[in-house]
Amino acid sequence: MQYARLKKQADFQKLFSSGKRGFSPSLTLLYRPHAELRMGISIGKKHGKAVVRNRIKRLIREAFREVEGEIKGTYSIVLVPKIREEYSFTKFKDDLRWIIRKEKL
């Protein structure tokens, strides 16, 4: 299943205001039921300069691509990384799997 990207500010605002939240050590996941599976990433400037933020987004996108088959329903999802010294693909992937199981997505 291929996911669509969340791009509009209004879609992000709906999730931040009325979406349910799931937490892990490295990510916060906001979700809400939708007609199709959509995913967006929200990352602030506190994470570092643009090069660092873009690397984090690439890691999260790839981790989500690998675990999206485990999501049973269709949701709009926003992933918000937490500030860390180091970011790794395996940590993001493991935390996504953990949140999906915990929230029963």
CATH number of 73's domain: 3.30.230.10
C-beta of residue 79 within 8 angstroms of C-beta of residue 23: no
- Number of residues written out for the chain: 105
φ, ψ (nearest 5 deg) of residue 16? -70, -30
Given this model, what pLDDT does residue 3 score? 85
- Domain span at residue 61 reads 4-103
Stretch 69-85: mean pLDDT: 94
DSSP reduced 3-state for 26: coil
3-state helix, strand, coil in the chain (%, to 5): 45, 25, 30
Residue 1 has pLDDT above 70, yes or no: no
d(CA 3, CA 57): 15
d(CA 95, CA 9): 26
Stretch 60-75: mean pLDDT: 94
Q: In this predicted model, what pLDDT tens digit does every residue of 13-25 receive, in sequence order?
A: 999 999 999 999 9
Number of domains in the chain: 1
Stretch 14-41: mean pLDDT: 95
